[in-house]
């Protein structure tokens, strides 16, 4: 077990439930690393975080810090900080009072300097005297983050801290949160159901489903090498194609997918396709042997057009085209494959559990 957080075969059960909320999960978070717990609602990620904090009793397993068990240590003595989605600021205190809450007993000058340092770090310099009732949602979460960091916790636990905010603000604050955690060298365990958020904030991402840990990997590795179809589906891969034994005899769409991958996938491999696995070849005419798709639906998105197409030998997928591009449903369009939106899944003999520590 490395220095930092060690979660060993942790089990959490709730009365009357037909399965454990957390089912024998093991996970290490080394000092200075940020790990995201990612999964759908009800998968057990918040239950695991609360168990680490000491807010949920363990039905099995152990939680340790630097190799020393803390399962029997009360919440307030673990040295862990907590940040929840609503921030839970104290309305009777101003911004400075909230940030300094965990610094009781420190000299006044030290408290003031620490508050000023953190408010500057989270992008709210000079707001010490503001009434928290006047803060926007994003500002409230920034103050809550500063408060959680003030006593320099050895581990910061964040449970969906951005989920109550609108998407554009979430995207901006996710990047700011990453910057703050790195700048302070904070070890953190971060719960989210949003894979874009997890990828923006974390050094590694741990994917959970039905109480179990399916895979742990750096964001780029997780995206390019999901350990199972379930992981790929949760990350947003929408279609799956088996690589045929004779790729030359396959439909043009499948051949194009195989051709852009390096190394080339072997027969029996399953390819996972995300939105953008095909791009509409705007301006190209039909070419012999090149893939085509029949347009079913057009959807406008920021900076692009999503084109739902039916591709022979592949199925219905979402191709991408430039913003403003348009054509009538039923129109055949030329396509080209893009390896950035493709992943090769391991063979059926490789299980998710075998990849959970990769």
Same domain, 15 and 163: yes
Residue 305's DSSP bridge partners are 300, 321
Q: Which structure tokens are listed for 346?
A: 């391991």
Return the exposure string of 56-78: e unless at least 16 CB atoms fall within 10 Å of the residue's CB, then b.
bebeebbbbbeeeebeeeeeeeb
Same domain, 118 and 140: yes
Host domain of residue 100? 4-224
Concatenated DSSP letters for 89-139? --TTSBHHHHHGGGGTTS-HHHHHHHHHHHHHHTT-TT-TT-BGGG--HHH
Q: Identify whether the C-beta of residue 174 lies closer than 8 Å to the C-beta of residue 201.
A: yes
Q: Identify whether the C-beta of residue 281 lies closer than 8 Å to the C-beta of residue 321.
A: no
Q: What is the pTM of this model?
A: 0.88
Cα atoms in the 13 Å half-sphere on the side-chain side of 263: 4
pLDDT by position in tens, the chain (length 358): 568 999 999 999 999 999 999 999 999 999 999 999 999 999 999 999 999 999 999 999 999 999 999 999 999 999 999 998 777 899 999 999 999 998 988 999 999 999 999 999 999 999 999 999 999 988 998 999 999 999 999 999 999 988 878 777 888 889 999 999 999 999 999 999 999 999 999 999 999 999 999 999 999 999 999 999 999 999 999 999 988 777 677 788 888 998 888 888 888 788 999 999 999 988 666 666 678 999 999 999 888 999 999 999 899 999 999 988 999 999 999 999 999 999 988 753 233 333 444 4
Residue 232 lies in a domain: no
Same domain, 182 and 254: no
Same domain, 155 and 283: no
What φ, ψ does residue 285 adopt, rounded to 5°? -95, 175
Residue 119 lies in a domain: yes
**What CATH number is given to the structural domain containing 41?**
3.40.50.300
Mark which of 224, 252, 275 sits at the end of a domain: 224
Residue 274 lies in a domain: yes
Residue 260 lies in a domain: yes
C-alpha 292: how far from chain center: 33
Mark which of 198, 224, 250 sits at the end of a domain: 224
Q: Identify whether the C-beta of residue 86 lies closer than 8 Å to the C-beta of residue 135.
A: no
Same domain, 250 and 207: no
Same domain, 156 and 292: no
**Whole-angstrom Cα distance, residue 319 to residue 335?**
8
Same domain, 75 and 127: yes
**What CATH number is given to the structural domain containing 257?**
2.40.50.140
What stretches of the chain show up as alpha helix (H) in DSSP? 45-53, 95-99, 108-121, 137-149, 167-184, 195-201, 219-224, 229-235, 252-259, 352-355
Mark which of 191, 224, 257 sits at the end of a domain: 224
Same domain, 269 and 215: no
Same domain, 158 and 296: no
**Whole-angstrom Cα distance, residue 22 to residue 11?**
5
Same domain, 185 and 248: no
Same domain, 150 and 282: no
Same domain, 305 and 219: no
**How many independent structural domains does the chain possess?**
2
């Amino acid at each position: 077990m490395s220095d930092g957080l060690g979660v060993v075969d942790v089990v959490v059960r709730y009365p009357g439930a037909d399965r454990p909320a957390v089912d024998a999960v093991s996970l290490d978070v080394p000092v200075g690393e940020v790990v995201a717990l990612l999964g759908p609602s009800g998968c057990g990620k918040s239950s695991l975080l609360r168990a680490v904090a000491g807010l949920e009793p363990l039905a099995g397993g152990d939680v340790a810090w630097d190799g020393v068990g803390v399962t029997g240590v009360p919440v307030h003595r673990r040295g862990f900080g907590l940040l929840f989605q609503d921030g839970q600021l104290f309305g009777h205190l101003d911004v400075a009072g909230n940030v300094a809450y965990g610094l009781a007993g420190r000299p006044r000058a030290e408290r003031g300097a620490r508050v000023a340092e953190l408010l500057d770090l989270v992008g709210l310099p000079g707001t010490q005297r503001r009434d928290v009732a006047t803060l926007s949602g994003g500002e409230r979460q920034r103050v809550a983050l500063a408060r959680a960091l003030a006593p320099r916790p050895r581990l910061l636990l964040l449970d969906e801290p951005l989920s109550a905010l609108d998407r554009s603000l979430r995207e901006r604050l996710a990047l700011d949160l990453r910057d703050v955690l790195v700048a302070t060298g904070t070890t953190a365990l971060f719960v989210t159901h949003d894979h874009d958020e997890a990828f923006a904030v974390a050094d590694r991402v741990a994917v959970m489903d039905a109480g179990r840990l399916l895979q742990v990997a750096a964001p780029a590795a997780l995206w390019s090498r999901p350990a199972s179809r379930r992981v790929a589906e949760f990350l947003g891969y929408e279609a799956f194609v088996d690589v045929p034994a004779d790729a030359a005899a396959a439909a043009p769409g499948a051949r194009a997918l195989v051709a852009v991958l390096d190394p080339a996938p072997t027969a029996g491999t399953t390819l996972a396709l995300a939105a953008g696995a095909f791009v509409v070849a705007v301006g190209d005419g039909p070419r012999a042997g090149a893939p085509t798709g029949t347009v079913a639906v057009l959807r406008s998105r920021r900076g692009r057009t999503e084109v739902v197409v039916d591709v022979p030998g592949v199925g219905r997928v979402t191709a991408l085209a430039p913003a403003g591009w348009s054509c009538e449903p039923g129109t055949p369009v030329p396509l080209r494959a893009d390896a950035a939106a493709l992943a090769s899944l391991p063979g059926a003999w490789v299980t998710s559990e075998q990849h959970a520590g990769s």
